[in-house]
Structure 1
Amino acid sequence: MLTPDAATDGLIQALPDTLASKIAAGEVVQRPANALKELIENALDAGAGSVDVVLKRAGSELIQVTDDGCGMGPADAVASFGRHATSKLRRFEDLERLRTLGFRGEALASIASVAQVELKTRRRGDEAAVCVRVDGGDLEDVTPCAAPVGTCVAVKNLFFNVPARRAFLKSPATEFKHLVEAFQALALSHPSVAFSLVHDDNEVWRLPASDGPDALADRLDALAGGGLVGKLVEVEETTSYLSVSGLVASPDRARKSRGEQYVFINGRFVKSRQLDHAVAGAYGALLPERQHALYALFLDVDPRHVDVNVHPTKTEVKFDDDRGVYSFVKAVVKRSLAEGGLGLAFDPRARRVGPAPPASGVESVGPGTEAEGVDRPSFAPPPAPSNGDGASHSHVPPSAPTFRLEAGSGPDAMPPLPDAPVRPTDHTDEPRVPAPPPVVPEAPVGPIPSRLGPAPEGVDDLELDDDPDRTFWQLHGRYLLSPVRSGLLVVDQRAAHERILYERALSTMASGMAASQQLLFPFTVDLGPADRELLAEILSDLGALGFEMEFKEGKPILVRGVPADVTLGDEREVLDDLLAQFRRNRRSLRLSARENLARSMAARSAIRPGHVLGPTEARLLVDQLFGCDDPFSDPAGRPTMTRVTMEEVERRFRPR
């Protein structure tokens, strides 16, 4: 820090253009997907009827976007690489009337400052095209060339001159996933434009242009991998202030990830937690718990009432009446679902209602806050069909899959235990048929080790004895209680099971000796391009876990075998959940692929809160826990057990 005596003139200087451009690039181009988004937006603003994208090595080696739009002349082609250069703004008032996508005037300049860029462009009527080459922000060459009408921009070696930025790129599968998301959003918002995507010489999509009444549905179905026929309902409502149109899908098409939720404001794809919450609130109890609906909604609002310039990547917007827009979207989607009859097969009482309150102070719709011209739609499910004896049988979604505790192998191993029934913990008025008690095999139970290694504070002196008749009591289907010499041992049964499954998965992958059950009827799995890339990356480790899959380019994945402890009938859901959990871990944690997969498998397969364990099952779970390398915490670091000392208990009863 400078002292007053050290201050001299000349300390404040303007940044060199190259450095300023690299700093700007850090805001606009954070990863290859940002560059792709900017280039496609410019193509669409140029009136393109077709957009072709070619990628190599998830965009780090090549991002090429070719369009048949209006093109540019030689002077404009060079000027487009200048900072703050745009064709869409002339004065400040134009910001209030924006209807175009790329308007910042920073895209090409920012991309060219951190990559090697070649631009070829030609206007209709020009005899020749012009080719402009820029290397790391420096103009290298401007020459005539042969090219069709339109523009082709090739971005090579992104971040070649910013090694620190390149080092922070994620794995190719992750970066390709972000590229796919950017492509999907822009392709979906313009069904009248033909799109294609080729990655590493493999064609991922070829989407024809369509202007018919079903254009949006056809494009959404193609991007979602098919299966949406008959599961989409149209959303349409217009007021003097705001209009909304689009499609929402049946609740049974819901997924565990939010990757199939699209909201567009004046044709621009945006991310809005408030609007996502409004749609989730419209589905309410129709949506399976912890799952997210598929929808594509287009909001058209006067540009004077929405600010699209609040974030460098232009994916966030701010309305001058957030609450009114929230109420409007929720009411219109709710009414459309009711009119479309999509909830007929769902019983709202079988699921807990709705998501958590929205962020940013958004409140539920109350009297006097409805959007103008929109009545609050009411929706009640039809009565369940009767079987003739006056009793109604509502459809209850299947409960969480059961699990099986296993003891491994060896002469002292415990035999596998039967599945225990899952008993819901919610308090509903739905009649329930009690499940028969599990048949627990008689088996010798080995002693719990009397002394363990280093442990966190609170469980450092458990003083467990070797009593083979030790009893464990279950508390609220979540905790196992057992007396120890110094007090009471409390074990979190789900955390304990996660630790057991995590270490078992790591050991299995290391040994390559996984037990696999062959499927009598192999099934196929259709995955999107990003998920296929992810699956290809971890295919060998999945095989080490017991999955047997046939993976051929351009064909659905054939699953022939699954790990031996996967419940029959649950095979497809296990694979979907495993990939979803793997993606979540990769976004938030720095783990090796093998550790991530082991943690994902454990989180997906561990018993859920409310699972009832018999005495032998409880004892077996604790036995296996204390056989782990680290029995005191689950894979995420949460404690698996704690101890309540006798002193703590006595303080509760000691006279004051």
Structure 2
Amino acid sequence: MPDTIQLLPDSIANQIAAGEVIQRPASAVKELLENAVDAGATEIKLYITDAGKSLLQVIDNGKGMSETDARMCFERHATSKIKKIDDLFSIRTMGFRGEALASIAAVAQVELRTRRAEDELGTCIDIENSVVLKQEPCATPVGTNLCMKNLFFSVPARRNFLKSNASETKHIVEEFIRVAMAFPHIMFSLTSNGQEVFHLESGNLKQRVVQVLGNQFMAKLVNVKEETDYMNIYGFVGKPDTARKTRGEQYFFVNNRYIKSAYLNHAVMSAFDELIPKDSFPLYALYIDLDPTQVDINVHPTKQEIKFEDEKIIYAFVQAAVKHALAQFSVAPSLDFTLNAEIQQLDAVSKPFTTEQQQDTSGSKLFKTFSQKNQAHFIEPSGNSNKSELKHWKEFFTPPAAEGYDLLNSETVGKGGMPAFPSTESGYSLTDSISQPASGHLYEQPPAANQVLPNAVLLQLHNTYVIAPTHSGFILVHQQLAHERILYERYSQAAHGRSMAIQKLLFPVTVELAPGDALLLNELLPDLYAIGYQVELFGKDSFIIQGTPADITQGNEKHAIELLIEQFKHFSSDIKFSKREKLVRCMARQQAIKAGQQLTQKEMLQLTEELFTCNTPNVTPTGSPTYLEFKEDYLDRMFGR
């Protein structure tokens, strides 16, 4: 029998290796940007066409390569970073395995132009399917220009698994941001299909973080900085009011390498305990510097998952550093008089505050108004002519009752005299939503057992559940999930042909977004219009909101759009949905009334009625039950009857 085991040809072996290293265009972006950083570049430019599928080009002004190095860099496991086994455990560079360029050359058409400062001419190499087609001297600037065309042209099956251009561009932007945030002293730019998306000038860390996340975070970042003999941690966390309902901008870097760590994320979350709601996620960009021997970065092909020698110490340091930073933010600001020597010469600072002066001050009426309770209205006016202005001060706080209307006895008043049903944070009113008839309902009536009894009195439990009697028992409705189902079917109808009515804004609202979010919103504009949002491009990263769905209360349009983008970015599902379907689901989830919101009898009745006119009233789009049914015979059995 002939032998059956044989060595794979290099071309096939390289393509197999490429499957681990280069999974999509964003993988190549990460490897090429990191190589440019290792080359000592101060300017790195990234150009992509068709989300990197047709063209992906990285140009840097680094030290470049010699003719021999330019040829060797495409060989598997060829690297300048490791010479002995001990070097593997003291890595300080970004790339070190020598697999990236070999993998790229195995699945794409590659053109390399590179030159060192001491060389008069550079080197030009063309490679296709791991085969060198051309190598010759050429005139080129100092640095490296690597152009990758037609990714996966030699592996059509792999190319078919790539997602839409919008999705692949999103992944490229994420990898670009991760590298750019790790090296603020380097200028980065990203150009997609001829349009510059990012232009990040070199600067300090805070400038880079604000460049990436958006100028709106300039005054909302808390500085984190702790130094020890074991490790240093620095960076920024967002103030509690920047927390979002989705896992948004959260970045961890270890020795300038972006990592994913649920363990360290938990450390940050625990530091924010009781400062933000349980279902919110804080913003942070934290950088950890420690001895490379204390961390193993060679545990995953993408090098985004690493292993610490002592995770518990790192966890404790991260948690303590963030807590300390937040504690400093929480205290009242104090003046540092050492900053200006002239302040020290003022009488108020240089002269002592005598006992006699203390007694005179504490005995004054002005002092009493600030130090004793219920004294504020005794502040004396500066002149007699002003006494009449304070005479009827109590009347200012008593609103005149409308004729024929008893404010306190109205059913729209909740606890503390406040309206029982305020608008949600997204500006959505349940009354508005339910009172809008869902035109064209063709659904069959639900079973009689599920119908709420006419003229029934409904009960709200914990401001979250609605108890409604039926012909055969009662149902327990979850108000938020039920409303989500109602809105989903309404928006779904609008998204598939029955356009929603748009309410024009009297004063259009301008929204400025981070470049990555602006790129995403621009892709979503047609789908947003189908569900009632009229949004137009208004500059490079700015948009203007001209109209909103007619059943949404006006006044919070900017927040609604920002939250919608955030939910869309972090939409998680095992099923592949279309872009419009994801948008409809995000919209329904955002606009639904929230648990804990008080409802009137009228609103509870309308909620249940609208729910049972839905095509699928019993579950939300994600499969959660909207209500539970308790039948009379089941209740009897519970009591042994």
Normalising by structure 1, we get a TM-score of 0.79
Contact 1:250/1:342 (CA < 8 Å) preserved in 2?
no
Map of 1:78 onto structure 2? 71
Q: Percent identity?
A: 44
**CA 1:28 to 1:227, structure 2 compared with 1: closer, same or farther past 3 Å?**
same
CA distance in 2: counterparts of 1:155 and 1:386, whole angstroms = 72
Q: 1:128 aligns with which of 121, 124, 128?
A: 121
Q: Deviation of residue 83 (structure 1)?
A: 1.0
* Aligned amino acid, residue 77 of structure 1: A
Is the CA contact 2:246–2:570 (under 8 Å) kept in the aligned structure 1? Answer: no
Structure 1 pair 626–390 and aligned structure 2 pair: CA distance change class (3 A): farther
The aligned amino acid for 2:567 is Q
Task: Evaluate the alpha carbon distance shift between residue 595 and residue 386 of structure 1 in structure 2; reply closer, same or farther with a 3 A threshold.
Answer: farther
In terms of Rg, which structure is larger?
Answer: 2
1:271–1:342: structure 2 CA closer, same or farther, 3 Å change rule?
Answer: farther
Between the aligned partners of 1:454 and 1:158, the Cα distance in structure 2 is 54
Within a 5 Å distance, the mapping from 1:303-322 to structure 2 comes to: 303-322=292-311
- Structure 1 match to 2:537: 551
Shift of 1:342: 7.5
Q: CA deviation at 1:453?
A: 6.0
Partners of 2:136 and 2:228 lie apart in 1 by: 52
What secondary structure does 2:147 align onto?
strand
Q: Quick one: distance in 1 between partners of 2:299 and 2:119? A: 39
Q: Report the equivalent of 1:191.
A: 184
Amino acid paired to 1:306: V
Instruction: Please say if residues 173 and 530 of structure 1, whose CA atoms lie closer than 8 Å, have aligned partners that are also in contact.
Output: no
State the SS of the aligned residue for 1:538.
helix
Give the alignment's Cα RMSD to 1 decimal. Answer: 3.0
Equivalent residue, structure 1, for 2:265: 276
Q: 1:295 to 1:476 in 2, by over 3 A?
A: closer
Report the structure, 1 or 2, having the larger helix content: 2
Secondary structure of the residue that 2:78 maps to in structure 1?
coil
For 1:605, the aligned partner's letter is: Q
* 1:435 paired residue number: 418
1:145 is aligned to 138
Matched, 1:389 2:382: no
Query: What are the within-5 Å matches in structure 2 for residues 15-34 of structure 1?
Result: 15-34=8-27
Distance 2:110 2:493 in 1: 48
Q: How far did residue 593 of structure 1 move?
A: 2.3
1:485 shift after superposition: 3.7
Q: What's 2:175 paired with? A: 182
Relative distance call for 1:547 and 1:243 in structure 2 (3 A) is: same
Of 74, 81, 84, which residue of structure 2 is paired with 1:88?
A: 81
Shift of 1:194: 1.5
Give 3-state SS (helix, strand or coil) of 1:227's partner.
helix
State the shift of 1:289 in Å.
4.8
Corresponding residue number in structure 2 for 1:251: 240
Cα–Cα, structure 1 residues 293 and 140, in superposed 2: closer, same or farther, change >3 Å? same
Displacement of 1:200 in angstroms is 0.9
C-alpha distance in 2 between matches for 1:128 and 1:63: 24
Deviation at 1:506, TM superposition (A): 1.8
**Equivalent residue of 1:103, what SS?**
coil
- Distance between the aligned counterparts of 1:420 and 1:284, measured in 2? 35
In structure 1, the residue matched to 2:577 is 591
Cα distance change on mapping 1:530 and 1:611 into 2, 3 Å = same
Find 1:201's aligned residue among 194, 204, 207: 194
Match of 1:535 in 2: 521
**1:143–1:420 CA distance, 2 compared to 1 (3 A):** farther
Q: Is the 8 A contact 2:548 2:557 kept in 1?
A: yes
Matches for 1:288-327 after TM superposition, within 5 Å = 288-327=277-316
Unpaired runs of 5+ in structure 1?
A: 1-7, 345-384, 392-417, 424-431, 447-451, 456-460
Moved more, 593-602 or 248-257: 248-257
Shift of residue 650, structure 1, vs aligned partner:
1.8
Tell me the equivalent position of 1:429.
none
Match of 2:558 in 1: 572
> 1:476 is matched by which residue type in structure 2?
H
* Residues 326-358 of structure 1: per-residue CA shift (max 9 Å, x gap): 0011112211222244799xxxxxxxxxxxxxx
| Structure-2 change in CA distance of 1:453 and 1:643 (3 Å) | farther
**Offset at residue 111 of structure 1 (A):** 1.4
Contact 2:485 2:619 in 1 (8 A): yes
Distance 2:281 2:452 in 1: 49
1:141 deviation in Å?
Answer: 1.6
Distance 1:187 1:585 in 2: 25
Q: d(CA) in 1 for partners of 2:43 and 2:331?
A: 35
Counterpart code for 1:610: G
1:39 to 32, 39, 42: 32
Cα distance in 1 between the residues matched to 2:578 and 2:98: 39
> What amino acid does structure 2 have at the position aligned with 1:623?
E
Q: Partner amino acid for 1:598?
A: V
Asked if 1 retains the 8 angstrom alpha-carbon contact of 2:514 and 2:541, the reply is no
Evaluate the alpha carbon distance shift between residue 556 and residue 46 of structure 1 in structure 2; reply closer, same or farther with a 3 A threshold.
Answer: same
Q: Which residue does 2:586 correspond to in 1?
A: 600
What does residue 350 of structure 1 align with?
Answer: none
Counterpart CA distance in 2 for 1:24 and 1:72 is: 24
Equivalent position of 2:226 in the other structure:
237
- 1:610 aligned to which of 596, 601, 609: 596
Distance 2:453 2:573 in 1: 45
Residue 626 of structure 1, CA deviation: 1.9
1:157-176 alignment runs, 5 A limit: 157-176=150-169
Unaligned runs of 5+ in 2: 334-369, 377-409, 423-429, 438-442
Q: 1:55 to 1:587 in 2, by over 3 A?
A: farther
Name which of 316, 324, 336 aligns with 2:325.
336
Q: 1:89 Cα deviation (Å)?
A: 0.5
Shift of 1:636: 1.5
Q: Distance in 2 between matches of 1:41 and 1:465?
A: 62
CA apart distance, 1:53? 0.9
Give the aligned residue type for 1:59: G
Query: Does the C-alpha gap of structure 1 residues 101 and 55 become closer, same or farther in structure 2, counting only changes over 3 Å?
Result: same
User: CA shift at 1:13, angstroms?
Assistant: 2.8
The correspondence of residues 360-375 of structure 1 with structure 2, limited to 5 A, is none
AA aligned to 1:611 is Q
Superposition pairs for residues 99-118 of structure 1, below 5 Å? 99-118=92-111
Specify the SS of the correspondent of 2:184: coil
- Residue number in structure 1 paired with 2:477: 491
Task: Supply the AA of the counterpart residue of 1:435.
Answer: M
1:207 Cα offset (Å): 2.2
How far apart, in 2, do the equivalents of 1:495 and 1:386 lie? 50
Match of 1:227 in 2: 216
Tell me the residue number matched to 1:365.
none
Structure 2 CA distance for partners of 1:289 and 1:574, relative to 1, 3 Å: farther
Secondary structure, aligned partner of 2:95 = coil
Q: Which residue of 1 aligns with 2:362?
A: none
Deviation at 1:464, TM superposition (A): 5.1
CA deviation profile, 1:18-54 (whole Å, cap 9, x unmatched): 2222221121111211111100111111111111111
Distance 2:591 2:18 in 1: 43
**Count of matched residue positions in the alignment of Structure 1 and Structure 2:** 557
For 1:183-234, what per-residue CA distance to the aligned partner results, in whole angstroms no more than 9, with x for missing partners? 1121121122121111111112222223xxxx11111111122133343343
- Measure the CA separation in 1 of the matches of 2:603 and 2:219: 45
